[in-house]
């Protein structure tokens, strides 16, 4: 209890009136120093033996205490220094979301370095590009598979001088002077630490808040990725204020599974958790997320829409395959839940009867559904990074899960707007965070200002100058504001001007299409064309289930996508969406992508979004058929 008070004592409040006329409030925490590693030192000193991470090892959740975390980070940092790594140098990490990623990240930061993440799904060429662009001197790789990418890249990366491997399984015979195991690397760090007592703390004390801490490569739906520089100040500002806004507490449990290279996991995930004292539980691997979620039952959660969609469709399928009686119970319970959820969204009281019915529904039916997904203890959940269907949010609210939409981008370090839990407006991404400012440009572009906004792009001053103009971050997103609630309509550069001169925001159409459970993603085409057309990627699982139920004959994914019945199904979905738009904005033709796309494919960003420009190129012939046939 005392500790909490000292933490609270160290808070300073700042209030000002933003350019948008809103009252802004931000807090500073003087108890954690000015950098991420100084926060680590302060927390470890205070919390010592308490658990901060958990990982599953041979089927058992094993705990990592603050002391252990700090020691690991220290040995990584001193290990880097022993290799001649100096402040301002870059080190890269190429691994799935595992505790070693965190140790390494904190070690790099503590050595005064800059930490750059690489997606484990990236191809060797991409890895080479990122290593060169960042100028990384050291790369930490997860295992044999990732090592091969680094080895392939090293010939073209002159700055790279060391490869450290976390998991040496199968690499006993590896004989490359540039490579070493994480264990050997840590041992050198430990020895170096013993020979230079106090050097680690002194080095951390020299880190300024303005120093760049991390490079986050934007997934880049267009062009090669750019490294967004976020400073220690950016990160701590987010942590101190974001944790307060979200009401994230010490002892909360979260599941760590999103890629560490993405700000959602890096800042809103692990850094928030370190600041708040939330325990991060690392999934065994990408395949066990659902299982680990169920056994952990976290109290808070942040995930991209794809995960929420997947949990939802799993329940839907289970319900369809349940007995008649179970289906009736489900229908009744979710109905009771929806009545309460709708009242909540409308800001009204659901009434005593509805509340009673919901209590029963929650106890007898919805509770077991929440347990089945792993959300029975959840206090709040965030969804962001891509649009999500309002219907889906309504379903989660009915289930009793406070699913709140947030909006932001790498360049603002994560969250820029969030949905208030007590004032939910479906179809919007909530209101601007109280500790930053937001306004719309005359063209409708979302502009952000504040200490959460990034420093600029790594080695690309002209791109930085293009993005931060007159002190405002130009997000490139177009939106509308009503009563302070933001609705994001599209990316600025994606706006289509048809040959008829009509401006169309494709994302609005695409999002409506994606809200269909049969459509995974869609790209609307029509710039300088007579009419709009669309490439659609079907949702494999749901369409397959549908086809099987309808006795539509198919074998693999391609034959499913080619089947005329599936074409008609998607046509009907498209027609339903078209109804919502004016005639010139309607989609006249569509084609299905016959290849099942995976995160490894260049067509997709790591967050599974179709890359517009890439799709335009790759499927040029297919696109042309939509304009020649007619």
Partner 1 sequence: MSTEPLLSVANIETFYGPIQAIRGISLDVPQGKIVTVLGANGAGKTTILKTISGVMDPERGQIRFDGHDIMRMSPDKVMRRGICHSPEGREVFPFLTVHENLVMGSYSRSDKAEIAQDLEMCYEYFPRLKERQHQRAGQMSGGEQQMLAISRALMGRPKLLLLDEPSLGLSPLLVSQIFDIVKRINRERGVAILLVEQNAHIALKTADYGYIIEVGRIVMEGLCAELMEKDDIKEFYLGQKQEGVRAGRRWKRKKLWR
User: Stretches 49-57, 451-459, 511-519, 556-564: which one binds partner 1 (CB under 8 A)?
Assistant: 556-564
Buried b vs exposed e over 519-554: b needs ≥16 C-beta within 10 Å?
A: bbbbbbbbeebebbbbbbbbbeebbbbbbeeeebeb
Told to check if 210 binds partner 1 by CB under 8 A, we report no
DSSP state of 46: H
The closest alpha carbon to 217, from 476, 409, 385, 87, belongs to 409
Told to check if 71 binds partner 1 by CB under 8 A, we report no
Which 3-state string (H, E, C) describes 72-92? HHHHHHHHHHHCCCCCCCEEE
User: Stretches 170-178, 415-423, 491-499, 602-610: which one binds partner 1 (CB under 8 A)?
Assistant: 170-178
**Residue of 67, 144, 451, 565 interacting with partner 1 (CB under 8 A):** 144
Site for partner 1 in 150-169 (CB under 8 A): 151-152
Told to check if 147 binds partner 1 by CB under 8 A, we report yes
Told to check if 565 binds partner 1 by CB under 8 A, we report no
Told to check if 320 binds partner 1 by CB under 8 A, we report no
Told to check if 618 binds partner 1 by CB under 8 A, we report no
Q: How far is the CB of 595 from partner 1 (least distance, A)?
A: 6
- How many residues belong to the site for partner 1 (CB under 8 A)? 26
- Ramachandran class of 222: left when φ > 0, alpha when ψ lies in -120 to 50, beta otherwise: beta
User: Stretches 182-190, 426-434, 527-535, 551-559: which one binds partner 1 (CB under 8 A)?
Assistant: 551-559
φ and ψ at residue 351, rounded to 5 degrees: 90, 155
Give helix 390-399 / helix 324-346 axis angle, nearest 10°: 110
Residue closer to partner 1, measured from CB, 177 or 197: 177
**Residue of 323, 551, 579, 628 interacting with partner 1 (CB under 8 A):** 551
Q: How far is the CB of 78 from partner 1 (least distance, A)?
A: 29
Give helix 66-82 / helix 182-195 axis angle, nearest 10°: 90
Whether the Cβ atoms of residue 116 and residue 214 lie closer than 8 Å to each other: yes
Buried b vs exposed e over 161-189: b needs ≥16 C-beta within 10 Å?
A: ebbbbbbbeeeeeeeeeebbebeebbebb
Site for partner 1 in 570-609 (CB under 8 A): 595-596, 598, 600-601
Residue closer to partner 1, measured from CB, 167 or 477: 167
Site for partner 1 in 456-485 (CB under 8 A): none
Told to check if 143 binds partner 1 by CB under 8 A, we report yes
The closest alpha carbon to 598, from 94, 121, 97, belongs to 121
**Residue of 556, 576, 580, 624 interacting with partner 1 (CB under 8 A):** 556
**Residue of 557, 581, 614, 627 interacting with partner 1 (CB under 8 A):** 557
The closest alpha carbon to 135, from 455, 459, 465, belongs to 459
Told to check if 170 binds partner 1 by CB under 8 A, we report yes
Q: How far is the CB of 558 from partner 1 (least distance, A)?
A: 8
Q: Residue numbers of the site for partner 1 (CB under 8 A)?
A: 143-145, 147-148, 151-152, 170, 173-174, 544, 547-548, 551-557, 559, 595-596, 598, 600-601
């Amino acid at each position: 209890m005392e500790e909490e008070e000292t933490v609270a004592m160290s808070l300073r409040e700042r209030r000002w009136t933003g350019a948008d006329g809103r009252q802004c409030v931000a807090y500073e925490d003087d108890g954690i120093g000015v950098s991420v590693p100084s926060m680590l030192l302060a927390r470890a000193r205070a919390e010592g033996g308490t658990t901060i991470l958990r990982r599953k090892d041979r089927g058992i959740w094993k705990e990592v205490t603050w002391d252990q975390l700090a020691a690991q980070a220290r040995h990584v940092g001193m290990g880097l220094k022993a290799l001649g790594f100096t402040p301002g140098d870059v080190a890269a990490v190429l691994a799935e979301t595992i505790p070693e990623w965190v140790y390494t990240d904190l070690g790099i930061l503590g050595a005064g370095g800059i930490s750059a993440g690489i997606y484990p799904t990236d191809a060797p060429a991409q890895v080479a590009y990122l290593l060169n662009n960042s100028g990384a001197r050291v790369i930490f790789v997860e295992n044999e598979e990732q090592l091969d990418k680094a080895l392939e890249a090293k010939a073209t990366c002159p700055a790279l001088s060391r490869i450290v491997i976390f998991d040496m399984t199968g690499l006993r015979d590896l004989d490359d002077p540039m490579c070493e195991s994480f264990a050997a690397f840590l041992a050198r760090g430990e020895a170096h630490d013993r020979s230079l007592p106090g050097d680690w703390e002194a080095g951390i004390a020299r880190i300024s808040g303005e120093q760049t801490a991390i490079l986050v490569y934007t997934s880049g739906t267009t062009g090669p990725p750019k490294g967004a520089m976020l400073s220690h100040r950016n990160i701590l500002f987010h942590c101190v204020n974001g944790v307060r806004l979200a009401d994230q507490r010490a002892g909360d449990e979260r599941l760590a599974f999103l890629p560490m290279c993405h700000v959602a996991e890096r800042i809103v995930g692990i850094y928030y958790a370190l600041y708040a004292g939330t325990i991060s539980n690392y999934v065994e691997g990408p395949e066990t997320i659902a299982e680990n979620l169920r056994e952990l039952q976290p109290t808070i959660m942040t995930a991209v829409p794809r995960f929420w969609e997947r949990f939802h469709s799993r329940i839907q399928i289970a319900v369809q395959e349940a007995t008649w009686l179970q289906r009736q119970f489900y229908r009744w319970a979710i109905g009771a839940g929806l009545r309460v959820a709708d009242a909540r969204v409308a800001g009204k009281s659901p009434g005593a009867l509805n509340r009673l019915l919901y209590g029963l529904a929650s106890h007898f039916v919805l509770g077991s559904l929440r347990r089945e997904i792993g959300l029975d203890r959840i206090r709040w959940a965030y969804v962001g990074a891509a649009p999500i269907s309002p219907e889906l949010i309504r379903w989660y609210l009915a289930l009793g899960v406070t699913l709140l939409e947030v909006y932001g981008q790498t360049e603002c370090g994560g969250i820029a707007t969030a949905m208030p839990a007590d004032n939910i407006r479906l179809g919007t991404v909530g209101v601007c965070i109280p500790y930053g400012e937001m306004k719309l440009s005359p063209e409708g572009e979302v502009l952000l200002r504040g200490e959460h906004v990034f420093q600029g792009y790594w080695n690309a001053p002209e791109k930085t100058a293009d993005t931060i103009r007159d002190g405002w971050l130009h997000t490139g997103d177009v939106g509308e504001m009503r009563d302070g609630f933001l609705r994001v309509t599209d990316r600025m550069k994606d706006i289509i001007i048809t040959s008829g001169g009509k401006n169309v925001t494709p994302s609005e159409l695409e999002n409506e299409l994606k809200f269909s459970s049969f459509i995974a993603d869609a790209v609307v085409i029509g710039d300088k064309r007579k009419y709009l057309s669309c490439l659609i990627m079907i949702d494999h699982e749901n369409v397959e289930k549908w086809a099987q139920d309808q006795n539509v004959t198919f074998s693999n994914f391609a034959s499913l996508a080619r089947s005329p019945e599936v074409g008609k199904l998607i046509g009907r979905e498209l027609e339903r969406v078209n109804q919502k738009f004016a005639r010139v904005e309607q989609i006249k033709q569509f084609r299905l992508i016959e290849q099942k796309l995976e995160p490894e494919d260049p067509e997709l960003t790591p967050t599974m979004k179709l890359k517009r420009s890439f799709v335009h190129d790759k499927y040029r012939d297919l696109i042309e058929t939509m304009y020649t046939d007619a």
